[in-house]
A and B are shown apart, each in its own frame.
Chain A
Amino acid sequence: MIAQRTQNHVFSPIQSILHNTGSITLQSVLKNRMDSETLSRAQKLDPHALTIIHNELYPVVYRYVRYRLDDEQTCEDITSEVFLRFLTALDTQRKSIQNLQAWMLGTASHLVFDHLRSHYQRPVEELDDDTLVSPHLPEEAVEQAWQQQEIRSSINKLTIEQQHVLTLRFSEERSLEETAQALGKSIGAVKILQFRALAALRKFLTGHSKRGKSGHSD
């Protein structure tokens, strides 16, 4: 049913959103469809084509950014900025974009990296535990928030490529093939990169855990 609709190009923007539920098959069909005709119309700044692209890829990019950042407003800003960069690329890049989704996620990765780097360069006043976690949250939720903060903090210490591969692999469970295509690498290279990223993350998480235990014991 979905494949038939896709072949007939009868998706409205809203329908595209509704059907873009993370199905790999549907995503790949939509990606191919956009790469072939919608993207060519988008290069002419056709509003309808741009609307389709935005509505279909916004959730993908948003989830990617949200995986890396906890702040909702920053995620919205960065996701929106990815699409504005896409418009600029349409106007300035001579080479056409072969894989639009990979291009957008790569751009999102760099924007997140730049955001975090600028955030570190402008250190804010360190917040205490009471400020970070609302006192009204249940204890389990507080613990989960702490863990997620530690994980994000550890991921942000990885190289940008390691951050990118982990986000691609675990934010939406992309396969090795899709990750390799997005990174422009071979599957073997992605496996090695993933292994090193997980090993490094484990190291940072272990360090966090040790510091946390020592802090609590103090």
Chain B
Amino acid sequence: MDTLIKALDDCLEKIHSGATIDQVLETYPELQEELRSLLETANAAKSLRFEQAIPMSTLVRSRSRFLYQAEKMVNARQNLHWGSSFRSSAVLVYGVIICLVIVLGTGIASGESIPGDIFYPVKLASEQTRLFLENNPVARISLEENYDRKRAQETDNLMQRERLIETTFAGFLTSKERDQWAVAGIQVVFPQNLQSLAEEMRGKYIEVKGHPQSSGIFMVNDIHARQFEITGTIDTIQPDQWIVSQMSLGVTSNTLIMGQPVIGGDAKLTIIRTEDNQLIAISIQALNSNHNDGQSATPQPTHAIRPTIGALSSDDGSDTLHKTPLPSRKENDPAQSLIETQQPTRQNKGVDQGITNVQGNSAPPSDNATPTKENTPSHNESDQGPKPTQQEKDPGHTPQPGAPYDSDH
């Protein structure tokens, strides 16, 4: 069989080259009969070849039909593309609309919510987000005070609805008569142990924490100065007034200065508002480590201020006043006065954590550990670094940034 197949192929090739059947069969005499019939069949098959010219009219008709169909497909592809693009766009638009409805609906719903409502956390979260996005210190303080007014309004609503849950709000502390106090226009009552503290903070911008009463009175559990934290660029440094990001701030001898703030450098400040509506810095922390002349970026306190008045919570739950004399208190120093009225020593710090920003666990109260601006050694004075203070001698009391003072000890 293989021989016959090879012989047939060979014969076909020779015939294709011009040989006749008889000529090629001479090569395969033993297969002559079989091959002849096959070659004649092949010749018969070849006779069907279409030798004529292809009519041009058929080609033109076919080409027209071919290109017309292609054009239809191109249009279909474009429609599909636009259709899918439109569908994608429509889905996107619907998605955005749904998100807007949800966000705006939730925002609107949360806008009037008060503590205890489902949407109240949403309201607080949106406020925090807006604060986070606000870089201008003046606008940030204005925004925070606006939110303080909202908290006060919410507290008023809580009392009207007799929803007596713990809340916090801020405002100026005012009193018409003795023992008749109001914060942001809401009548508040201080317990006996906070009476003297309230007297000290009269007229100042404070924050109170407590429970509203159905009688329209707010029972205060905690009181401290309202603090604002901002970050800005130092424009001007004068003995008693700094300008930070075009905002004028009072700086006293009791202002805690950490690091070496320089003009043009960034600083993080903790600010309070006094009864005469002035802003006083109670701490300034330099953020630009490039100006430390090779010193560690970790801010080191050049002032150490400790509050001398605070409410201590004893183990048995009773609050007592803790007083420590200030070594160099200035008369009419609002920063000194307000700092003194902080309550950083409450043992239940979890309660205070949200409203007290400068509490910490640093140095014990000691005259040696409270240097003034003048007697504090500068980092530039000696290559050996600053003289060790009482805090540095005790590693366990190394001051932490943002926690410069404490009165636990």
Contacts and interface: CB of A to CB of B under 8 A. Distances in A.
Given A155-B45, A205-B44, A47 B61 contact: no
Interface string B1-39: 000111011000000100000000000000000000110
B215 to A, nearest CB: 79
Contact of A191 (B5, B65, B77): B5
B73 interface: yes
Interface stretch (A1-9, A52-60, A101-109, A131-139): A52-60
Contacts of B47: 144, 147-148, 151
Given A80-B66, A198-B45, A62 B38 contact: no
Given A80-B66, A83-B66, A84-B69, A151 B44 contact: yes
Contacts, number: 110
A63 interface: yes
> B interface, how many residues as a size bin?
20 to 34
A97 interface: no
B233 to A, nearest CB: 58
B54 A45 contact: no
Interface in B39-79: 40-42, 44-50, 54, 58-59, 61-63, 65-67, 69-71, 73-74, 77
A87 B48 CA distance: 30
A111 interface: no
A51 to B, nearest CB: 7
Given A47-B70, A84-B69, A91-B73, A170 B48 contact: yes
A100 interface: no
Select the residue from A55, A91, A191, A195 with max chain B CB neighbours within 10 A. Answer: A195
Contacts of A55: 59, 63
A195 B41 contact: no
A195 B45 contact: no
Contact of B61 (A80, A87, A166): A80
Contact of A202 (B6, B38, B58): B38
A147 to B, nearest CB: 7
Nearest to B74: A45
B9 to A, nearest CB: 5
Contacts of B5: 191-192, 195
A147 B77 contact: no
Interface SS of chain A: helix
Contacts of B46: 170
Interface in B205-234: none
B66 A50 contact: yes
B38 A198 contact: yes
Interface string A18-54: 0000000000000000000000000001010011001
B70 A148 contact: no
B65 to A, nearest CB: 6
A170 B46 CA distance: 5
Contacts of B61: 76, 80
A85 B232 CA distance: 72
Contact of B67 (A47, A144, A172, A205): A47
Nearest to B34: A199
Given A54-B66, A87-B73, A147 B44 contact: yes
A198 B7 CA distance: 14
A80 B16 contact: no
Contacts of A180: none
A87 B69 contact: yes
A201 interface: yes
B41 A63 contact: no
Given A47-B70, A84-B66, A67 B50 contact: yes
Nearest 4 A/B pairs, CB to CB? A66-B50, A80-B62, A202-B41, A170-B45
Interface of A: 17, 45, 47, 50-51, 54-55, 58-59, 62-63, 66-68, 76, 79-80, 83-84, 87, 91, 144, 147-148, 151-152, 155, 166, 169-173, 176, 191-192, 194-195, 198-199, 201-202, 205
21 contacts: A45-B73, A45-B77, A47-B70, A54-B59, A54-B67, A66-B50, A76-B61, A79-B62, A80-B62, A83-B66, A87-B69, A91-B73, A147-B47, A170-B46, A170-B48, A171-B48, A173-B16, A191-B5, A192-B5, A201-B41, A202-B38
